[in-house]
Amino acid sequence: MTASARKQAPRDARTPSARALAYSILFAVESRAAYASELLHTRLETIGDPREAALATELVMGALRRQRLLDFFVERYSGRKVSKLDIEVLIALRLGIYQLRYLKRIPARAAVNESVQLVRSSRKKSASSFVNAVLRRAASESDRPVEEFLSTEITPEDALGIIHSHPTWLVERWLRKFGKPGTVALLESNNRPPANACVFLNAEHREKTLQSLTKAGLGFEPGRLVRDAIIVQSGNIAKSEAFRNGWVGIQDEASQMIPLLLGVRAGDFVLDLCAPPGGKTMRLANLAGEHGRVVASDLHESRLQAMSERLNKSNVANVSLVALDGTASLPLTKGFNRILVDAPCSGTGTLSRNPEIRWRLKPEDLADLHRCQVALVLSALEYLSPGGTLLYSTCSLESEENESVIQEALRDRRDICQEPVEVPQEALAATTSASELIGDDGTFGTFPPLSHTDGFFAALLKRR
């Protein structure tokens, strides 16, 4: 944003600037393990100017996606390890270098001065001259590609990790699984903003929803994967009547596909074992109809309470909420003919949407998640009626959380078999074929660079 543009839209002194808001959110993400998307959702309302809100979003998500590369430059220009810097100083440097490298419409002087001011405002005034000097050095080389600064002794995996800002261990495993072209495409995809896909939560209000979005000034286009989805290209959906009334929600297109793969029919008795935030639950309830029933559960009462409010807003009445530990014996009546286990996972298929995950996840976490996921499937299978089906899904790209979970769950279960996932062609956008989404082993999968969605996996199990 230019200085003249800012003069045209003066900001209330009580309203935080885009950079101040971004700085506070990044501090919370770094110091309290908060999630950026959640904080942006709740705090962007404090910024009245949509251009400032867009800048705040760009700064937060961009700095998180490019964090390793930004830290590489911080160390280059400061001569210090990032682990030795105060968090307040480090975040100001990351924001400054991100603007210098990626937001060329912002003058270098403004990027430097604003970052210095952020440090002063955070009670680190003594570091302001240090930040100023580091960013001025960064500005002098901001047009030079990072490849020029890499050591000739660096491994190819480390080079890709720095250039594309991912942990080396993730790069290494993806190279083994996807090869170099697929890995580079995935790394690049993870550093682009995801599509802002929406789902219609109330089919009866579809036309009214579209009119509401248009009235709110939103620009949108049809979904690329799901026929009934739309992708918002401009505008703030939260300001529309349709969103406030619970007629439409934000949900990735691959995520929208998952409940459709379970084959729920009118009158079915459905268990949604790991239900919140509830988008999939609402689709299952719609498919089961007024004579069907969905039991939706989660370990945490607070998440179920938030989900209850969402269900009430959308007038979904055929859902019962139950707090329970899905890995243990369940306090439920047996005999569900459809079960969805959308398991907690690493989320490596969502690194564009949730970039902080890549910096928190450790290799050893995959084994812990695998054990939990197997326990969830085995527990749920005990409540599946003969002839019934269970759909296991994750938003992970890792075999330990996907194929290996199914293999272990079936190891000693002769009463359970795996069946090919069937994708309803009528639910897909015209440009997508169901065969593109099913692997040789009969599992469902999306790959972000190809599907332009989050990366999802799903497998179908049946009780004989």
- At 219, is the pLDDT very low, low, confident or very high (cuts 50, 70, 90)? very high
Res 3 pLDDT > 60: no
Superfamily of chain region 196-250: Sun protein; domain 3 (3.30.70.1170)
Strand ranges for 208-359 from DSSP E: 219-222, 230-234, 248-250, 269-272, 293-298, 319-323, 336-342
Q: What is the pLDDT of residues 16-45, one digit of tens each?
A: 899 999 999 999 999 999 999 999 988 988
CA distance 68 to 64: 8
Reported as half-sphere exposure (CB side, CA atoms, 13 A), residue 252 has a value of: 22
Architecture of domain 253-463: 3-Layer(aba) Sandwich (3.40)
The stretch 89-112 carries a mean pLDDT of 97
Res 13 pLDDT > 60: no
- At 202, is the pLDDT very low, low, confident or very high (cuts 50, 70, 90)? confident
Res 8 pLDDT > 60: no
CA distance 363 to 382: 31
Res 397 pLDDT > 60: yes
Reported as half-sphere exposure (CB side, CA atoms, 13 A), residue 243 has a value of: 16
Q: Which phi and psi angles does 115 have, rounded to 5°?
A: -65, -40
Q: What is the pLDDT of residues 294-344, one digit of tens each?
A: 999 999 999 999 999 999 988 899 999 999 999 999 999 889 999 999 999
Which three-class secondary structure state does DSSP give residue 343? coil
- Residue 237: what pLDDT? 87
Tokens representing 349 are 């298929």
- Residue 14: what pLDDT? 57
Write out the catalytic residue numbers.
395
**Does residue 259 have a cis bond before it (omega within 30 degrees)?**
no
- Residue 235: what pLDDT? 87
The domain locations on the chain are 3-149, 196-250, 253-463
The stretch 377-396 carries a mean pLDDT of 97
Alpha helices in 122-262 (DSSP H): 128-140, 156-163, 168-190, 206-215, 241-244, 253-257
- Residue 46: what pLDDT? 83
CA distance 165 to 158: 10
Do residues 245 and 237 lie in contact, with contact meaning Cβ atoms separated by under 8 Å?
no
End-to-end Cα, the chain, rounded Å: 62
CA distance 399 to 371: 13
Q: CB-based contacts of 180: which residues, under 8 Å, 6+ apart?
A: none
Q: What is the pLDDT of residues 135-172, one digit of tens each?
A: 999 999 999 999 999 999 999 999 999 999 999 999 99
Task: Return the axis-axis angle of helices 67-78 and 156-163, rounded to nearest 10°.
Answer: 100
Output the CATH code of domain 3-149. Answer: 1.10.940.10
